[in-house]
Amino acid sequence: MKKDARMVALAIPFLLFLQLSGTLIESIYILDLLRSGLDEKALGVLFFFSPLLVLPLYKRRPREAAWLSFAILAAARTALPFLGTANRLFAAGLGTGAALALIPIVAGQGPDGARFEARLGAAALALAVCLSAMLRAAGSGIEYSLVLAGGWVAPALCLPLGWALSRLDFAGAAAGAAAGAATGAAAAEPAGGSEFRGIGTALAGLILVLVLVLFSISAPSVIARWTEGSYPAISLAVALSAAAMACVALARPGASRRIGGGMLLAWNLAFAASLTALILAHGVAFPPALDSPAAVIGPSVWYQELLLALALFLSPVLYLDAGLFLRKLSAAAAAPFRLVPGFLAGGLALILLVFANIFTNVWGYVKPISPFFRGKYWLPFLAASLLVALIAWATGRGAKGAEGETEAAVKERLHPAWAVIFAAACLGTLLWSLPSAKPVAREGGDSFRVMTFNTQQFNDKAGEKSIDRQLALIREVSPDLLALQESDSTRISLNNNDYIRYLAEKLGYHSYFGPKTVAGSYGTALLSKYPLENPRSVYVYSDKDETGIAEAEIVVAGHRISIYNVHPDSSDPAMMVFAETLLERSGDKPYSIALGDFNLRDYEEAYKLIDGERVNAWTSVYPSEIGADGVDMSGKDRIDHVFVSKSLGVRDPRYVKPPASATDHAVHWTDLYFAGPDSPATKQ
């Protein structure tokens, strides 16, 4: 029972750390980098070093250290769904530090002074990933426990965590560490080595494992958006691989003893190679010059699917690494000061990897550092996985397998209820990840409605989350075709939230995410009541943001319509290339719609080029640029447009400005009808 408690006391802090650290990064990004600059809010990353404040209590008062960390963790995590962005940053920072501080304490508190078993650490992280995948699926791509409706989840998780902490043998911690040094050093260290050597390195390794989990498998939508693969299949694969690893470790405690240091190193290197290759395989060879042709990216091919399967198959090595590092950390109860280098190095590595990941997306805005990271989304993953492989090899070198438990420990098995818990998590993940039924496209009628919406990554002008307000506006307008920009939220900068999946599920629309997250664009997604046919992403030359156009076709009343969702932002020459490419790609289509955030005003050359060949929905009906309801869009803020071919007519175009738009842009929609090639292009 005490070992069951110890597993719970590790799994829940792991899970809460993933939720809280993601929220901390997200809050900093929303308040700072989302506005294209760095200021004092970026200092929120210093919370990753806050476990050092609890460190003086580790040796002489481990019980007090554990319960203090628990109290901060429970309070901060429970409050999180109910806070605004600025307060959420502070609470998430406190909770992140508390969760990270609690993990080494638990690792050092063995029942009755027994050595820590690496299998418990591996199973604990696997359980955290299973629960994370399930909660993400339950929220339709958003972490369910971080929204108001899921506010009950955090207190529910803290109850078993409190129970588990009450079962730990804090009094015997120092004795257990000393006993481990006397009886386990020969099995765990090379001849002449020290039991306490490498504790800091192991902690840094554990933090790097958590970084890799945070960046990828804890939110299966991340990998699904890298690859445009099946979200249910990827979610289930993540959950099943974690559950299988945990159940083998718990049901057959001696199995991991057969995995020697060399095999573990090879497994880690294979995972690093497959993960990096997967990202590179889905990368984009961006047009290098103004006169370069556009790059067109279609559906995945066989070798990309193979790399996806291989990376998912090899990912459980992260659980073994975590168990190995936690076993090493169990000695820290007798030498907690040796954790200082680990917290410092691990925290610094985490911060650098987070910024490296973010800079691949905002490379045009944080000069002179960020341009180096253009097209290098793979780099932080490769760096983290190679460092984990090296540290795991160094930590386990000379040990009798990756586990190193005594024979008595090998014979002991944990409660079979764990199999039921993992099975339930996998089943819940599968059921919640399955898509909802799609509606039948509206038949009849002489018009259909299109809408363009720059979501500012689903935040309003004040930097507060606004996904549900945006959803309410979309439902009110009820467009047949919805084009979203700045929708590339399925990355660590936005806590891996897949808002496109969320909207598609809530609305019952077909969806195409558009440019993959590995490309570093800001996201141009399409949602439609009509099936989206032949979806593809097209990249044109850019020198500021990646200009990725989401293209697809819909069939309305027997007419095939080509759709182009755009969001360019570059120098004037590059914007002219964009305009020329857009006209070239849509020129021979009988019916076409180009809509989105063009970042073009009506006095700019690229706008004039497009306007000369296509019909602007707003100005064709309102030449004064002032609507019938008095909305004045004659100023420089009108950069979101709907351009249509002359064979389509326009009715009743509308704009809704902030704050009613729940974003920092005006939202624009209009009704279209089939005017015919020889008919007037507009109709009021």
pLDDT digits (tens, 9 = 90+) for 531-576: 999 999 999 999 988 899 999 999 998 899 999 999 999 999 999 9
pLDDT value for 412: 58
Q: For position 201, what pLDDT does the model report?
A: 94
8 Å CB contact between 466 and 460: yes
pLDDT given for residue 1 in this prediction:
64
- What's the CATH number where 552 sits? 3.60.10.10
* Residue 16 amino acid letter: L
Q: Give the residue among 270, 394, 385, 373 at the shortest CA–CA distance from 324.
A: 394
Residues 237 and 305 in one domain: yes
CA distance 407 to 564: 64
Structural domain contains residue 31: yes
- In whole angstroms, what is the distance from residue 684 CA to residue 253 CA? 75
Highest-pLDDT range among 253-262, 380-389, 427-436: 380-389
Tell me, what's the pLDDT at 404?
A: 46
Which of 119-128, 186-195, 207-216, 258-267 has the weakest average pLDDT? 186-195
Compute the average pLDDT of residues 433-439: 77
**What pLDDT score was predicted for residue 170?**
77
Distance CA 104, CA 190 (A): 23
Return the pLDDT at 520.
Answer: 87
| pLDDT recorded at residue 262 | 87
| pLDDT score for 635 | 86
Contact 165, 2 (CB under 8 A): no
Least confident span in 38-47, 423-432, 520-529: 38-47
List beta partners, residue 484: 453, 525
Domain tally, the chain = 2
In the chain, the amino acid numbered 547 is T
pLDDT recorded at residue 129: 98
User: What is the reported pLDDT for 436?
Assistant: 75
Question: What average pLDDT does the segment 642-665 reach?
Answer: 96
Residues in the chain: 684
493 and 369 part of one domain: no
What's the pLDDT at 680? 43
Residue 389 sits in the same domain as residue 477: no
Whether residues 545 and 428 share a domain: the answer is: no
Please state, for a pLDDT cut of 90, what percent of the chain lies above it.
74
User: In 3D, which of 552, 555, 632 has the Cα closest to residue 595?
Assistant: 552
Q: How far is CA 273 from the centre of its chain?
A: 21
Average pLDDT over the chain reads: 89
Model confidence at 158, in pLDDT bands (50, 70, 90)? very high
> Does 339 fall in a domain?
yes
Q: Of 433, 458, 486, which one is at a domain's C-terminal end?
A: 433
Environment class of 60 (CB within 10 Å of its CB; exposed 0-12, middle 13-18, buried 19+): exposed
Task: Name residue 339's amino acid.
Answer: L
Confidence of residue 682 (pLDDT cuts 50, 70, 90): very low
Reading the block at residue 198, the tokens are 């490498």
**CB 294, CB 539: distance < 8 Å:** yes
CB contact burial 515-540 (16+ within 10 A = b; e otherwise): bbbbbbbbbbbbbbbbebeebebbbb
Residue among 29, 21, 81 at smallest CA distance from 456: 29
Inside any domain, residue 45: yes
Residue 169 has pLDDT above 50, yes or no: yes
Q: Which of 388, 405, 433 is the last residue before a domain boundary?
A: 433
Nearest residue to 559 (alpha-carbon basis) of 681, 438, 446, 483 = 446
pLDDT band at residue 60 using 50, 70 and 90 as cut-offs: confident
Q: What is the pLDDT of residues 577-603, one digit of tens each?
A: 999 999 999 988 999 999 999 999 999
């000061």: which residue's tokens?
337
Q: Which of 433, 457, 480 is the last residue of a domain?
A: 433
Contacts of 112 (CB under 8 A, 6+ apart): 2, 169, 172, 176
CA distance 178 to 31: 47
pLDDT band at 118 (very low <50, low <70, confident <90, very high): confident
Same domain, 211 and 327: yes
Residues 401 and 455 both lie in one domain: no
Residues 309 and 349 in one domain: yes
Contact 341/200 with Cβ under 8 angstroms? yes
Is residue 408 located within the same domain as residue 524? no
For residue 594, the surrounding DSSP H or E stretch is strand 592-597
Is residue 440 one of the residues assigned to a domain?
Answer: no
Q: Is 400 a domain residue?
A: yes
- At 553 the three-state DSSP class reads strand
Range of the domain at 608: 448-674
**Contacts for 573 with CB less than 8 Å, ≥ 6 apart:** 290
DSSP string, 181-204: HHHTHHHHS-TT--TTTTHHHHHH
Residue located via tokens 């920072």: 93
Q: What is the pLDDT of residue 331?
A: 82
- Lowest-confidence pick of 55-64, 286-295, 348-357, 617-626: 55-64
Residue 499, domain member (yes or no) = yes
560-570: burial string, b at 16+ Cβ within 10 Å, e else: ebbbbbbbbbb
Same domain, 80 and 142: yes
pLDDT in tens, 358-376: 999 988 887 888 889 999 9
Q: Are residues 419 and 473 in the same domain?
A: no
Same domain for 473 and 423?
Answer: no
In a domain, 425, yes or no: yes
Question: Would you state the pLDDT for residue 554?
Answer: 96
Express as a percent the part of the chain with pLDDT over 70: 88
Rounded to a whole number of angstroms, the CA Rg of the chain reads 27
Asked if residues 184 and 404 have their Cβ atoms less than 8 Å apart, the reply is yes
Q: Domain check: are 523 and 411 in the same one?
A: no
**Three-state DSSP state, 465:** strand
Given a cut of 80, is residue 67 above it in pLDDT?
yes
Cβ-contact 666, 655 below 8 angstroms:
yes
Question: Is the pTM higher than 0.75?
Answer: yes
Which residues does 140 contact at the CB level (< 8 Å), separation at least 6? Answer: 432, 498, 501, 502, 505, 506
- Phi (first) and psi of residue 421, to 5 degrees: -65, -45
The CATH number of residue 149's host domain is: 1.20.1250
Mean per-residue pLDDT, 151-169: 94
* Cis before 368? omega within 30: yes
> Does some domain include residue 396?
yes
* pLDDT (tens digit per residue) in 500-521: 999 999 999 999 999 999 998 8
Q: Please name which of 159, 9, 174 lies closest in space to residue 78, comparing C-alpha atoms.
A: 159
Which pLDDT does position 515 carry in this prediction?
A: 93
